[in-house]
Amino acid sequence: MVDPWALPEIDLAACTRCGQCVAQCPTQAVEMRAVGPVIVRPQDCTYCTLCEDVCPVGAIACAFEITWDVPTTG
């Protein structure tokens, strides 16, 4: 089952609040809030994985399911 709203998972316990994910997000979907970085505009997130790439402590995970293309019916 495709999850159309799959979003990067942010581990706030591991996050150092460095702000790299906020600065690098190409669509400004993530903002720094009191609790840490939050994806405030999920509809703008393209799941490009850049936030995961730039996080220096590995606190962001963009996981992929690997499947065959299944033609839809109807």
Q: Kindly state the number of chain residues that form the binding site for other proteins, as judged by CB under 8 A.
A: 20
Query: Which of positions 44-73 make contact with other proteins (CB under 8 A)?
Result: 46-47, 49, 52-53, 58, 61-69
List, in sequence order, every residue forming a beta bridge with 37; answer none if it has no partner.
32
- Residues in contact with 36: Cβ distance below 8 Å, sequence separation at least 6, in sequence order: 10, 12, 15, 17
If one asks whether residue 43 binds other proteins (CB under 8 A), the answer comes out as: no
Using CB under 8 A as the binding rule, whether residue 12 contacts other proteins is answered as no
Hey, what are 74's tokens?
């109807």
Chain residues that interact with other proteins, rule: CB under 8 A: 2-6, 46-47, 49, 52-53, 58, 61-69
